[in-house]
Chain A
Amino acid sequence: MKRRSLLLTGAAAGGALLVGWGALPPRSRLGQAGLWSSQTGEVALNGWIKVAGDGTVVLAMNRSEMGQGVHTALAMLVAEELDVPLERVRLQQAGHDAIFGSAESFVGFLPFHGDDREPGQETAFFRGARWVTLKLARELGINITGGSASVADAWEPLRLAAATARARLLGVASLRWKLPVAELEVQDGAVSHASGPRAHYGELAAQAALSPPGDVTLKSRANFRVIGKPAQRVDLAAKCDGRAVFGLDVRLPGLLYASVVHAPMLGGSIGTVDVGAALQRPGVERVVRLPPLGGADAALAVVGRTTWHAREAARALPVQWREPPSGPLDSKRIEAALETAARAAQLRDGGFTFHSRGDSRVALAGAAKRVDALYRAPYLAHATMEPMNCTARVRDGRVEVWAPTQVPGLARDAAAQVAGVAPEAVTLHVTYLGGGFGRRLEVDVVAQAVRVALETAGRPVQLNWSREEDFTHDFYRPAGVALLRAGIGADGRVSAFEAHSAGDALEPRWMQRALPALAGPFDAPDKTTVEGLYDLPYAIEPQRIAHVATHSGVPIGNWRSVGHSHNAFFAESFIDELAHAAGVDALRFRLDLLRQRPRHAAVLNLAAQRAGWGQKLPAGRARGLALHESFGSIVAQVLEVSLAGKQPRVHRVVCALDCGIVVHPQGVQQQVESSVIFGLSAALYGRIDIEGGAVKQKNFPDYPLLTLAQTPIIETHALPSDAAPTGMGEPALPPVAPALANALFALTGHRLRELPLMPLLASLRA
């Protein structure tokens, strides 16, 4: 099946579901005031906005704060359109209504090529598929904080909700004072008229709730007073004095603590266990057998009076574990099998073709020069600083859950299923997340916590994983292998490009765990396996990009930037190889291939210019560059690198980007710093090995992260834009590894084609 027919099948299925409910007018996305649980003195003006008696604006916050600054960015959108200072916007966790669901993330799953979706030049086919997908997604109302989509998703509905609320408040003032709306002024949440009357929102809200909004227009960029301007994150103070409540900080009267131990082997199960020995220990209340839940393996949970008591008992638990029926997993063997699969696909035009144009095989045969390369990427762990946990209480037929989760609705569904109650009987509180990076798109710990809470007679339980459990029972970034080849003509231009890659499809696995209702009987081709490889921005003709989706049995999931995290390394390292083979400067080579992509060229030029590309560096230093688009944002980076012995030192990272309108400039800057550092940790050191069925890396000493002392200077330069915003939580990560490898090539003359880079670098002869 080719990409286009797959899309059409999906669109037809979608179309069938569309019958009966028609098109949703934008205003219905504002929701009803009745969605709110209102407190005394607060008046809801729609599903998103309430006004408190003192004029404070309350925003229904549907997205989870995991460090990416989303609470601040979304509050800024509302502050802008309501003309209130950011400090006057208070956040209250949103409910589970469909208006709070995600839409843009689902569009991101569509395997469209950049040629179809370049803003302003979208094909009719893409526009149609996007429309259907958005409609479907809004009907489903699945709330995901992920896919760098929160600001893009909120851009229209949140500003519209705020502007509509403002129009109603103004309308009331106009009626009350018998003055035309056009003559009224709004500042800091107060409406006034030059002739004297003045009232703050709190004094107008009750009447506004009963009046129609009238005409609503959104501000143009020139009139922004909040968007794109400096703003302080709304969560800073609480995160500097210990007050911020993460999942592990929930404290309730009578709270018990449950520590989980899984079988050391992935997929293993519990044989025999001597529970009596554990119960003899001080502070231990009980031991609960956990069946496989939410994708987690079978496990034991020791319930104790403190985390320490529970954990010490769990550690000492005499258990005989069982191997998985399929035998122990081994990552070396899996990686060898991936290479075999990719080679077979290359030999026989195999795999699922995500993109092809022209006859690459013929063109390759006739090329003046051929470049062939094999690239590899390992499994990776998320290693959020806050290990996995969830707190639950089951009492009187009701379930209450406190979870640091990226998927509150799916978490609620999982809790309901385990407890055997309707989702409406579950109250879910989203805490701050001590990092997410895709790990908290899973519901495994939520299901485990509720399962344990069913056995504690109404007492609340905080279920926690040790760091060792967190490392050894993650849903890992899948390992991948890509065979790339290209031809270079006598004129020095690329005359053909082919990619044959192999690796597990991850989204079908995630769907089975977190969204079983939508998981199909067979795996649809997973775009994330090839994202960033099948949709190169470069004008290369002909080309063919195919992928062999495997099923290795290793638990895999979404890891910050997903498929882009390794495909950018493959693609942008290989482009560098081609530039070198053609004898052309890496910047000029790329620009030459970007003549039809002015946005990409502008970003690349900006990075090169700010980094001083082509200018002399001190001896022993070299630059590497990479360009990559992901989640709708384009990022180019230039890294300045030296080597002290075999230890690389990154001195400076210049990052240029186009993410449409920048809502929160420091937020974007923070996310660039975050992604660069996350990306450097992975590029230099990140790897998870599975030996004898068990994950070898068990704690931070086995899985090094970049330290403060190693952190380079990071500069962020955003291109001015009038386009709707796209995400920045992930897009600055993918270019890091290839830019680093390209710099190391410039330094050493060795092309490092395998992540992480350190082992290969260490093996080079001095």
Chain B
Amino acid sequence: MNLTINDRTVSVDDALADPSMPLLWVLRDVLQMTGTKYGCGVAACGACTVQVDGEPVRSCVTPLSALQGKRVRTIEGLAGPGGPHPLQQAWVEQQVPQCGYCQSGMLMAAAALLEANREPSDGDIDAAITNLCRCGSYPRVRSAIKAAARQLAPRRRPSKP
């Protein structure tokens, strides 16, 4: 089976992966793309969050069969050709990660939020970031999303007098 991951067509060994296999394990154990993490296996913690056609998806409960013809984006593909994603820059500037294990999922959820909503309110961030973090990076996740949003916002023209 072929998958589109980070804008590249990737062939998955059918001998290793059947259609019911969750994307998480295809990424991690078949394709050796270990940036996406296992945390709970029941879509509760969000450590495995990737994007499918731009939507944040918990890859631990997304079977391979659901991905035919879809575009998958993982943490390995978050940076663009021009360098790190504005969220990754903000993440470094605000020193968001501690242990770092949940951060791939956090970043992918945050990137999906910003693609849908360039100026998220606190309430929008609360609703979109349901990922769990045991180290308590939440306050910095919030401030880094806001910082990246500011950077991404189109420069407003100075208002006319």
Contacts and interface: CB of A to CB of B under 8 A. Distances in A.
Contacts of B91: 236, 240
Interface string B9-31: 00000001110011001001110
Contact of B139 (A283, A436, A701, A714): A714
A242 interface: yes
Nearest to A705: B132
Contacts of A676: 136
Given A241-B88, A385-B132, A674 B98 contact: yes
A700 B132 contact: yes
Contact of B18 (A282, A673, A678): A282
Contacts of A235: 97, 100
Contacts, number: 178
Give the residue among B39, B76, B100, B131 with the most A Cβ atoms within 10 A.
B100
Interface string A218-260: 0000000000000011011111111111101101000001000
A241 B35 contact: yes
Interface stretch (A122-130, A367-375, A427-435, A501-509): A427-435
A88 B113 CA distance: 36
A522 B107 CA distance: 50
A700 B44 contact: yes
A239 B42 contact: no
A242 B92 contact: no
A474 to B, nearest CB: 13
Determine chain A's interface SS by DSSP, over half rule. Answer: loop
Contact of B101 (A305, A308, A434, A711): A434
Nearest to B24: A308
Contacts of A434: 37, 99-101
A762 interface: no
Interface stretch (A44-52, A64-72, A542-550): A64-72
Interface in A661-700: 666, 670, 673-678, 699-700
B42 A699 contact: yes
Contacts of A707: 130, 132, 138
Given A236-B97, A244-B100, A67 B135 contact: yes
Given A308-B21, A701-B44, A239 B126 contact: no
Interface residues on A, range: 35 or more
A527 B25 CA distance: 44
A232 B139 CA distance: 17
A384 B131 CA distance: 14
B95 A232 contact: yes
Interface string B31-50: 01111111111101101000
Interface in A626-677: 666, 670, 673-677
B134 A384 contact: yes
A383 interface: yes
Nearest to B30: A306
B29 to A, nearest CB: 4
A435 B98 CA distance: 9
A735 interface: no
B51 interface: no
Nearest to B105: A385
Interface string B70-95: 00001110110000100010011001
A248 B136 contact: no
Interface in A702-727: 705-709, 711, 713-714
B42 A241 contact: no
Contacts of B17: 306
A383 B133 CA distance: 10
Contacts of B28: 248, 307
Contact of B134 (A305, A308, A678): A678
A387 interface: yes
A241 B101 contact: no
A383 B91 CA distance: 24
B141 interface: yes
A308 B38 CA distance: 11
Contact of B37 (A248, A305, A674, A713): A248
Interface in B122-160: 125-127, 129-142
A708 B104 CA distance: 16
A244 B135 CA distance: 16
B138 A677 contact: yes
A242 B34 contact: yes
A528 interface: no
A386 interface: yes
A68 B78 CA distance: 26
Nearest to B34: A249
A677 B136 CA distance: 5
Nearest to B74: A242
Interface in A482-536: none
Contact of A466 (B41, B101, B129): B41
Contacts of B139: 673, 711, 713-714
A398 to B, nearest CB: 25
A467 interface: yes
A673 B98 CA distance: 11
B97 A435 contact: no
B92 to A, nearest CB: 5
Contacts of B84: 240-241
Contacts of A306: 16-17, 21, 25, 29-30
Nearest to A242: B35
B126 A709 contact: yes
A433 B16 CA distance: 28
14 contacts: A65-B99, A233-B97, A240-B88, A249-B34, A251-B32, A308-B29, A384-B101, A385-B101, A433-B99, A436-B99, A670-B95, A673-B137, A674-B136, A707-B130
Q: Which 6 residue pairs are nearest across A and B when measured between Cβ atoms?
A: A242-B35, A67-B99, A677-B136, A239-B100, A434-B101, A67-B98
Given A674-B98, A714-B139, 19 more contacts: A66-B99, A236-B92, A240-B96, A240-B107, A241-B79, A246-B37, A257-B29, A384-B99, A385-B45, A385-B102, A386-B37, A670-B98, A673-B140, A674-B137, A678-B136, A700-B132, A706-B138, A708-B133, A709-B129
